[in-house]
Amino acid sequence: DWDFWLDWKDRQWWPVVTPIVGITYCATIMYYLWVNYRLPFGATLCIVCLLTGEWLTRYWGF
The whole-number mean pLDDT for each consecutive block of 10 residues of the chain, a chain of 62 residues, reads: 60 73 85 88 84 85 65
The answer to whether the beta carbons of residues 45 and 28 sit under 8 Å apart is no
Residue 4 lies in a domain: no
pTM: 0.59
1 in a structural domain: no
- The alpha carbon dihedral of 34, 40, 43, 49 has a sign of negative
In a domain, 54, yes or no: yes
DSSP conformation letters of 1-33: -THHHHHHTSGGGHHHHHHHHHHHHHHHHHHHH
Question: 31 lies in which domain range?
Answer: 17-60
